[in-house]
Structure 1
Amino acid sequence: MRRWLFEPVPRGRIAAFRTLVYLFVVADLTVITPWVRTHAHVPGDLYQPLLVGRLLPLPTPTPLLVHGIFWALLVASVAAATGRAPRALGWTVFALYFEWMIIAMSYGKVDHDRFGFLVALAVLPTVGRARHGDATPTEAGGWALRVTQIAVVCTYFLAAFAKLRFGGVDWLWSSVLARAIIRRGTDFADLIAQVPYLLIAAQVGIVAFELLSPLIFVLRGRWRYAGIAFFYTFHLFTYATITISFAPHLVAMASFLPLEKVRPVSWLRARSLRPRAGSGIAQT
């Protein structure tokens, strides 16, 4: 078990994943969920903090608190994406984003696509320094990615557990997807809904997929990457039909990928140095 939990990964993979995660925080604040800032002007009586917000306890959001966290988190995330001061900036981003999510989800709506992403933010500061392209193996980095992967899979498995716990087996042939399509469906979803029993089959398939998701850890090599591709495809169809993106979850799921192989800066530099056809270098 220890060998599996601490399976070494290249430090370059940690560096790439860390940059992706922290840049996503910037995108989340400014593009994906900018509505969180509107809670700054919501009456405090409507604030019903999640359990963790009651246990700590955390303050009731005010304009000063919300806007202060927004700008501090924005600056800290950009700085953390550079890889400098990975522990200090990493813990700062995690603490601020954690409070940001408490503010976001304490008004009656709780999204479960943030779990894996929050775990990633919590474990990345434990790794320490990592440079892009560094092939040096790190057990600490392997543990951080493995814990994030477990959180990603738990998001699926526990979603199926919740469906069966609260909806029972009847959830499988209920009208859940039909109601979702009526409420927020796309033209593509309308075409699918016209096929008899297809939505019921889709619901059975969703629960089966979620219950079997832990098998991703059994797969190796190309088979595992094929499984992850299926996960991403599942969310692509989800967005194409009922416009639910699961963006933070998709970022956390990148912990399964060999991100150290994606080095756009080096790729662009190589292209700029490549001799052009017809140049003096190419002709010699």
Structure 2
Amino acid sequence: MSRWLTEAVPRGRVAAFRTLIYLFVAADLVVFTPWVRTRVAVPGELYQPLLVGRLLPLPTPTPAVVAALFWALLLLALLAATGRGPRLLGWAVFALYFEWMIVAMSYGKVDHDRFGLLVALAVLPTAGRARHGDPTRSEAGGWALRVTQIAVICTYFLAAWAKLRFGGLDWLTGSVLARAIIRRGTELADLIASVPYLLLVAQFGIVAFELLSPVVFLLRERWRLATVGFFYSFHLVTMATITISFAPHLAAMTAFLPLERVRPVVWARRLFSRRGRDATRPAGAAPALAGQASAAGRPDGP
């Protein structure tokens, strides 16, 4: 088990995952959860902190507290995305984002799509330094990614457990998806809803998929990546039908992917260097070289 938990991965994968996660945190503040800043406009009596918020001596949110939290977290997340100070900046981002989530989820609604992201932020500081493109393998980095993967799969499995625990078999045979489509469905969802019994089949399929999600750890790499692709397609359909994005969960799920193969900075450098060479090359040089190459490859004589 310890060998599986600490299976070494390229440091380049850890660096890419770290950059993606911290950039997502910055995007989350300004794109997905900017509404947190408006929560402080309501009376303080409506703030009912989660259990962890009651156990820790955290202040009741005020406009000044939330504004300071927002700007500090945004700045530190962008700095952490560079890979510098992985432990110091990593722990700071985790602590601030954790408080950001306590504020966000202490007004009556708790989203379960952020569990994997919070775990990723908690374990990334333990991975140590990592550079993009570094093929050196790291057990510490492997542990950070593995724990994030487990959190992602627990999100699925525990969601199914909650459905069956609180809804029972009625969740499977009821009108859960029908109500969701009525509330926030798209035109595509309306087309699906018009097919008899398809929503009931979908509800059985969702629970089966969530209960079977841990099987992903038993698959070979090729099939594991295909299964993760299916996970992403499931959320794509969810977004296209009932407009639920699960963006934080999708960001954390990249822990399954060989991100070290995606190197946009290197690609950009190659592109710009190629354009620079083309711009400095004298006019007509390329055709001449091509002609010389053609002549060199042509045999002499008739």
Report the TM-score when normalising by structure 1.
Answer: 0.97
What is aligned with 1:151? 151
In structure 2, distance between residues paired with 1:95 and 1:152: 20
What is aligned with 1:185? 185
Give the Å deviation of 1:267. Answer: 0.9
What is aligned with 1:96? 96
What is aligned with 2:243? 243
- Among 273, 279, 285, the residue aligned to 1:280: 285
Give the Å deviation of 1:153. Answer: 0.1
Give the Å deviation of 1:40. Answer: 2.2
8 Å CA contact 1:39, 1:66 repeated in 2 = no
Q: What number of residue pairs does the alignment pair up?
A: 284
8 Å CA contact 1:10, 1:138 repeated in 2 = yes
What is aligned with 1:77? 77
8 Å CA contact 1:40, 1:67 repeated in 2 = no
In structure 2, distance between residues paired with 1:112 and 1:272: 42
Q: Which amino acid aligns with 1:3?
A: R
In structure 1, distance between residues paired with 2:117 and 2:129: 20
In structure 2, distance between residues paired with 1:280 and 1:172: 70
User: Secondary structure in 2 aligned to 1:177?
Assistant: helix
User: Secondary structure in 1 aligned to 2:84?
Assistant: coil
What is aligned with 1:142? 142
Q: Which amino acid aligns with 2:123?
A: V
What is aligned with 1:35? 35
Identity, % of aligned positions:
74
Seen in structure 2, the aligned counterparts of structure 1 residues 168 and 104 have a Cα distance that, compared at 3 Å, is: same
What is aligned with 2:213? 213
Report the TM-score when normalising by structure 2.
Answer: 0.92
- Superposition RMSD in Å: 1.4
Give the Å deviation of 1:269. Answer: 1.8
**Shift >4 Å, 4+ stretches:** 275-279
Q: Which amino acid aligns with 2:92?
A: T
- Is 1:268 equivalent to 2:273 in the alignment? no
Give the Å deviation of 1:273. Answer: 3.3
User: Secondary structure in 2 aligned to 1:59?
Assistant: coil
In structure 2, distance between residues paired with 1:22 and 1:280: 46
Q: Deviations over 1:15-67 (max 9, x none)?
A: 00000000001110001111011022221100010111111132111111111
What is aligned with 2:66? 66
Give the Å deviation of 1:272. Answer: 2.9
What is aligned with 2:292? none
Q: Which amino acid aligns with 1:173?
A: T
Q: Which amino acid aligns with 1:206?
A: I
What is aligned with 1:111? 111
Gaps of 5+ in 1: none
In structure 2, distance between residues paired with 1:259 and 1:52: 33
Mean alpha-carbon deviation: is it higher for 28-37 or for 272-281?
272-281
Give the Å deviation of 1:271. Answer: 2.4
Q: Deviations over 1:147-189 (max 9, x none)?
A: 0000000000000000000000121011000000000000110
User: Secondary structure in 1 aligned to 2:40?
Assistant: helix
Q: Find the structure with the greater CA-based Rg.
A: 2
In structure 2, distance between residues paired with 1:190 and 1:146: 39
Gaps of 5+ in 2: 290-302
